[in-house]
Amino acid sequence: MTSKPKADAPKPSDTEGVSLFTIAMRVAVTGQLVAFLLLFLAVVATPVSARLIGGLCGADAVWRLSLMAGLLSLVRCWIAEIIERFDQDETKTPDTAGAAEWAVRWYRFGLVCFFLISLNAFTWGLQRPDYWGLVSGHDQPEYFAYLHSWVFDHDLNFQNEYDRIAQNPEDLMDRSESPPKAVNVAPIGAPVLWLPFYLATHAAVHVLRWFGLESPADGLSSPYATGVAFGNLALVWFGMFLVWESARKFSSARSAFFTIALLWLATPLSWYIVDEAWMSHGCAFFTGALVLYLWSKGPENRSAAGWAALGGAVGLAALVRPSEAALVIVLAADAAVLARTRPYVSLRYLGLGEACMAGVFSLQLMTWYCMSGLSQPPGSPMMWAHPAILLTLFSARHGLFSWHPAAWLGILGVPLLWRRSPRVAVTTGFVLALSLYINASIADWSAGVSFGARRLIATLPFMAPGIAAAGSWGVATVRKRPWTLATAGVVALAMYNQMLLTQFREHWFNPGDAISFRNVWATGGMLFQARFGHPFSYPANLLFAARNGTGPAQYDILASARPSELTINAAGPDLQNFLGKGWEAPHRNWYAPNAYVVAEQSECALLLPLERGRKYSVIVQLTPPPNRGRPQTVSITLNGAEYGRVTLEQAAGKNVEVVVSGDRAIEGLNVLGMSFSSVTTVPLGPPGGAVERGLTVKTRHDQPCAAFLTRLTVRRLE
């Protein structure tokens, strides 16, 4: 008899290895959760404390905890890859599916990195002296006020919230009633989505107060705002994940990831998760992404529960921004597709989806009823017969394509989707067109004070399939025709050389002196724009020029419904050409009235190109920082030689004149030095005084300031 061969026993090393790596994976996942929890606590404490709990919390801990969370995410990816290799048969090579899963894992790590980078941009920006403002402006206090009224006051009276958080509470009052009544025209969708994070922040504030956080747990202090901002960013991140998963159905994982990168970094969304996180646009993006994800599964594979969820998601999008009711078209389009084979079922599912949509949106109707009865819901007037479509797309006042040319890919890629899925191509095209029509029909189509086309953020997820398709087509074209990339490089280098030739011929710089390439590029852009107009406003500016007999560059200002509100102070942008050491040039202020630069150090210098043997009058307009309580003394030197001293009186601008004799000027660069008697720190603001915007941020860095420079005048004296 022959004995049966014994089964191969598992290799102890392999078994132990898998077990150890599995434990390591669990430790990494637990560490990730702890790191993100600490990160949330640190963000909550950021506006109040720099260091808390031994440096584990507060503003200074955000970047450290972000680095920890990122490293743990990286380790988790490595461990998962090692475990997969242990599980594979040593005689086989990794299959294609395994390689694809490996790539997907690293793309998810990239999404985590986007979240951490944006979070640090938010907390770092929050502490800048020139920060836009914590729950500042007109709209942000309206959205944020709902949370306190619901949780603490249990009402819809916003007077006490506006008195605390609004910069100008009187602007939010209805004076047609007696006594005047606080009004809130903001939809409730964003506060509903923020509510879990608001409640978590309330718990976090109570915990942090045990460790020394000096902030009241009243629901309106600064930590509540930063906790909500963290939640807003988390919703955007989850929305990006949903968009990525949806785009993978129409393209490769790589194309989907680069689509996410464009949506995150090259659209107005980045502003509304970093600088104005208390607007509704982050939540609008999330709801649009949720609708896209639920819709992308297809009508044939969707159960009754799926139709109900899709309808509820559309209702939630409308709850965030009522204009997003346009997304109801995805229900109608899928019902039409299903009706070809199952007509009665499609009607039943369509009715179910619309009923769920109406049920969710009824929360907004009830809120309007409680606040204003059966009167007309608040909102901008509509011009349905005269939509400003070209202006909404191309205008210099927040046009979609002129501000965010990446959106072109989302539109141009729609026809490319036809070969993959006619349903996706047609429905996506209709969603984008209807959303554009609705937003272009709003009387205030430019959305007032806005970073780009903010009202179209909710439809960005529906641009993702087109962007992914356009990107895939571009990569495939370059692979098939590599000469296209070489041609693009040759054209770019040739255009640069022609730019230099043009400036040399037209005497934009002195051919005998060294040139500033900063000025070369700035001048090149100005020349291009003056002759050809803004390229991302094509074809609207070309049509405007042909119709009105003007150049395409004039479209930027003249085509808008009103003239530009900004006035240009010629001293502002020109000052940067003469700044030496010690100055801070706030570019945000260049085109505002009374533009200025800040002397951040006690020793500052201006660089003056003069000619030997000539006599000059140099006039410098200086203003001391506000609330100093004592005059500021300035010692003036030219090329190291003492010229005298002047005194700047409190909050009063003064023209300091230096007469440069011919024997004092040197050929070429002259250094006009200013030595200030002291440097103080002030909140950044105009020379007349700073204005606090939004809730208080105790950790905000003040601006070092010795004086404000508002004008430099140099005249040659005969």
* Rounded Cα–Cα distance for residues 684 and 686 (Å): 7
pLDDT band at 624 (very low <50, low <70, confident <90, very high): confident
Given a contact cutoff of 8 angstroms between Cβ atoms, the answer to whether 718 and 617 are in contact is no
pLDDT band at 505 (very low <50, low <70, confident <90, very high): low
The pLDDT score that the predictor gives to residue 332 is 92
Q: Which of 481-516 are b and which e, b meaning 16 or more Cβ less than 10 Å from the residue's Cβ?
A: eeeeeeeeeeeeeeeeeebeeebeeeebbeeeeeee
pTM of the model: 0.80
The answer on pLDDT for 513 being more than 90 is no
The answer on pLDDT for 274 being more than 80 is yes
The answer on pLDDT for 616 being more than 90 is no
* Rounded Cα–Cα distance for residues 604 and 667 (Å): 21
What is the dihedral angle through the alpha carbons of 359, 365, 369, 373, rounded to the nearest 10 degrees? -130
Only one residue has tokens 């702890």, namely 34
The pLDDT score that the predictor gives to residue 56 is 85
pLDDT band at 9 (very low <50, low <70, confident <90, very high): very low
Q: What's the average model confidence in pLDDT over 645-655?
A: 76
Q: Which of 91-126 are b and which e, b meaning 16 or more Cβ less than 10 Å from the residue's Cβ?
A: eeeeeeeeeeeeebeebbeebbebbbebbbebbeeb
* Rounded Cα–Cα distance for residues 572 and 598 (Å): 12
Higher model confidence: residue 718 or residue 462? 462
Of all helices (H) and strands (E), which one includes residue 77? helix 62-87
pLDDT band at 232 (very low <50, low <70, confident <90, very high): very high
Q: What's the average model confidence in pLDDT over 524-548?
A: 79
The answer on pLDDT for 371 being more than 70 is yes
What is the tens place of the pLDDT at every residue in 662-716? 788 877 678 889 999 888 876 654 444 334 456 778 777 777 888 888 888 888 8
Token pair listed for 34: 């702890």
List the single range of 148-162, 571-585, 635-649 with lowest mean pLDDT. Answer: 571-585
Number of residues that this document lists for the chain: 718
The pLDDT score that the predictor gives to residue 378 is 65
List the single range of 134-138, 201-205, 240-244 with lowest mean pLDDT. Answer: 134-138
What is the residue extent of each domain of the chain?
A: 12-89+97-126, 139-471, 571-717
What is the tens place of the pLDDT at every residue in 569-602? 336 666 766 777 888 765 455 545 567 788 888 9
Instruction: Please name the amino acid found at residue 142.
Output: E
Q: What's the average model confidence in pLDDT over 237-250?
A: 91
Average pLDDT, the chain: 81
Number of other CB atoms surrounding residue 254 within 10 Å:
16
CATH, domain 571-717, list 3.10.110, 1.10.287, 2.60.120, 2.40.50: 2.60.120
pLDDT band at 91 (very low <50, low <70, confident <90, very high): very low
The pLDDT score that the predictor gives to residue 171 is 74
- What share of the chain has pLDDT > 90, as a percent? 31
* Rounded Cα–Cα distance for residues 43 and 46 (Å): 5
What is the SS3 assignment for 668? strand
What is the SS3 assignment for 643? strand
pLDDT band at 52 (very low <50, low <70, confident <90, very high): confident
What is the tens place of the pLDDT at every residue in 308-342? 999 999 999 999 999 899 999 999 999 998 888 88
